[in-house]
Structure 1
């Protein structure tokens, strides 16, 4: 099983950062909460800081554990570990994604998310309002 971290990054307005995977990549065209594979010996928080800097050129501060989902597709099984995080600084520059958006939690359901992210989408959308800045 591969451990993967996902950041539910909020801005000052309580909107959540989402990103769409580039066509040609695994799950291309689907939206996700940004993050990536956790390296051996790396904490979830350190992974999220590293991945968002590498993939989006932004600095974040992980705040709290949000949830964990297991998902299997073909021969690949992942454990997706989500943390809420605060946007700190940086202009977004996309590397592994072709689009990103800041979205009110209730509007997340209007996007087609990767299967492992969908339970987090449901939980966030159920909040019916913007999240306080993490």
Structure 2
């Protein structure tokens, strides 16, 4: 099983940050909540701080557990752990993604998300 953390980053106007995976990546062209794989002994919160600094050049503050989704991509088992987070500082510079957007919850269903992220899209949309 691969443990992955995802950040549901909110801005001050009620928008959420989503990012599209680059075409050369697995699940390329699909949207996701940014994050990455946990390293050995790393907490999901620490992983998110590290990954968002590495992949988007921003500092975030994870502040609340949001949920877990166990998903199978064929033979690969992913455990996706989501946390709500605040943007603390930085301007987004994309490394692993080819596009990102700030969107309202009611706009999430307009994007095609990676299957493991869909549970969190559904959870957020139910909060509208």
Give TM class, smaller chain: over 0.9
Question: How many Å apart are 1:126 and its aligned residue?
Answer: 1.7
2:36 maps to 36
Aligned residues: 128
**Counterparts in 2 of 1:3-82, with a 5 A limit?**
3-82=3-82
Which deviations, in whole Å up to 9, do the C-alpha atoms of 1:10-67 show, x marking residues without a partner?
A: 0011110000000011000000000000000111110000000000000000001000
Structure 2: 5+ residue runs without aligned partners? none
1:94 maps to 94
Contact 1:106–1:127, Cα closer than 8 Å, also in 2 = no
Please give the secondary structure, in 2, of the residue aligned with 1:108. helix
Question: How many Å apart are 1:75 and its aligned residue?
Answer: 1.9
Misfit runs of 4+, over 4 Å: none
User: Which TM-score applies when normalising by structure 2?
Assistant: 0.98
Structure 1: 5+ residue runs without aligned partners? 129-134
Distance 2:43 2:125 in 1: 27
Please give the secondary structure, in 1, of the residue aligned with 2:52. helix
Question: How many Å apart are 1:87 and its aligned residue?
Answer: 0.6
Which deviations, in whole Å up to 9, do the C-alpha atoms of 1:66-125 show, x marking residues without a partner?
A: 000001112211100000000111000000000000010111010000000001001111
Please give the secondary structure, in 2, of the residue aligned with 1:112. coil
Distance 1:68 1:53 in 2: 22
2:113 pairs with 1:113: yes
Contact 1:57–1:91, Cα closer than 8 Å, also in 2 = yes
Contact 1:7–1:83, Cα closer than 8 Å, also in 2 = yes
